[in-house]
Amino acid sequence: MDFTVVALSLAALLVVFLGGSVWIGIALFLAGAGGFLLFTDLPFGSILANISWNNTSGSAMMALPFFVWMGEILFRSRISANLFNGLAPWMDAIPGRLIHVNILACTFFAAVSGSSAATTATVGKITVPELQKRGYNRMLATGSLAGAGTLGFMIPPSMMMLVYGIIGDVSIGKLFIAGFIPGFLIAGLFSAYVFVLCLIRPELAPRGEDRYRWSQRLQAVPQILPVVLLILVVLGSIYAGWATPTEAGAVGVAGSLVFALATGGFSRQAFRDSLLGGVKTTSMIMLIVMGAAYLSVVVGYLGITRKLTTAVTEMGLSPYMLIVILTLLYIALGCLIDGFSMIVMTTPIVLPLIQTAGFDPVWFGIYLVLMIELAQITPPVGFNLFVISGLNNDDILRIAKAALPFFLLMCLVVVIITVWPQVVLYLPGLMKGK
């Protein structure tokens, strides 16, 4: 059967289901079942049962609900507010002042939550009202939050890295450690941009009445310590080889519960809400992963991946040109679908192309997370834009415009890690065999 007809038919099925507002996970299942029914005589029901079990019963997937629940606990506890209060005194004398708290708070919270939406919502609930009250430029405050909120996907532990590692059969420990340098590079570029901009235009971040002494700064440090300790325990246990990602996730949940109770403000209702939120988010992700795995199986049976890989190889594209084309493709996809869907729909097809071109699967995981970060702040489906709009009632396009400088800075990071892949691969290279 003609390769083009098969590929276009599957794509048409997917577009019809997604365009009909069918849930993404269900749409993937239906497109996969349609492919089996139209082009094969295989028992698609039995294959569905096997695929669903194989993609949800592994130890790596067991880590996902723990990290999701940990983020939900932190989201609903006083830890996040304490993080802001602990960072604010240290930023008082720097051009940009509390705008940097947006970036640093997102960086710290990202390192324990694993979720971009949770990071943006948690930090935004605290910083947006405070920055507006102190007369900070609304566009700069909003744009920095939108950009820095995406760090929830890059700085480990990251749910996106977990999903990619499961689908691509890539070491999750190496993916986690590979995200550190690019994540802090992004945060550093964001802060440098805010620093220079506010140095040129001080009125964007006016100095308030507060004047902090060194004694006050030192007194604020204990409010940051719970997050720092969680980062050290969760990630340190993985890198030291003391715990698997699943075990580290369980330790992270236990630690976040202890700190949430110790800092106060974590009621029985908050516990219930965190548990229910974790179940809902995990179920959504599991459904999408199963649907995508099912669709990828029919794609493999029909030879689409193999033929596409052969076609691209025969085009003789240079590795850099392949990355340029993929970047444009992912930016376009990011305007239409969410990050999880981007991973599960494209990884089975794109990863063989990338490996054929000589790129490391760990490097591609970080590149893919960067593409998803860009998708978080591109309208009309950029999820961070919706989160911030819900916080300050701004128009989606206005928020996207405010986030544009930070979007461009992340594009710069894509260039940096492509030209110098060791930015991503240096740390994973230190943990060979783990």
Q: At what angle do helices 98-113 and 180-200 cross, to 10 degrees?
A: 170
pLDDT at 365: 94
Q: Domain map of the chain by residue range?
A: 3-429
Q: How far apart are CA 169 and CA 69, in angstroms?
A: 24
Q: Which residue, among 34, 10, 25, 9, has the nearest Cα to 338 in the 3D structure?
A: 25
Q: How many residues does the chain have?
A: 434
Tokens of 220: 């604020």
Bond from prior residue into 380 cis (ω within 30 degrees of 0): yes
Q: Which DSSP state fits 162? A: H
Helix segments in 55-115, DSSP class H: 59-75, 79-87, 98-113
Tokens of 399: 């928020």
Tokens of 378: 């591109």
Per-state percent for the chain, helix, strand, coil, to nearest 5:
80, 0, 20
Radius of gyration of the chain from its Cα atoms, rounded to whole angstroms: 22
* 116, 383 Cβ separation under 8 angstroms: yes
Q: How far apart are CA 369 and CA 160, in angstroms?
A: 7
What count of other Cβ atoms lies within 10 Å of the Cβ of residue 56? 16
Which residue do the tokens 């239906």 mark?
30
pLDDT tens string for the chain (434 positions)? 566 777 778 778 877 876 777 776 788 788 888 888 888 777 878 888 887 777 666 665 677 788 778 878 877 888 777 877 787 788 777 888 888 888 888 887 777 666 676 677 777 777 777 788 878 888 998 999 989 988 878 887 787 888 898 888 888 889 988 999 999 999 999 999 999 999 999 888 887 656 677 788 888 888 888 888 887 888 788 777 787 777 888 888 898 898 888 887 788 898 999 899 888 877 876 777 777 777 777 777 777 766 766 666 677 778 888 899 888 888 877 776 667 777 877 888 888 888 888 899 999 999 999 998 888 888 766 777 777 887 777 787 888 899 999 999 999 999 999 999 999 999 888 865 54
Q: How far apart are CA 160 and CA 67, in angstroms?
A: 11
Query: Could you give the C-alpha distances from 84 to 124, 125, 127, 267, 431, in angstroms and in order?
Result: 10, 11, 8, 21, 34
Q: How far apart are CA 221 and CA 227, in angstroms?
A: 11
**What is this structure's pTM?**
0.74
Give the list of residues 6+ apart from residue 334 with CB closer than 8 angstroms, or none: 342, 371, 372, 374, 375, 376, 378, 381, 382
* 25, 284 Cβ separation under 8 angstroms: yes
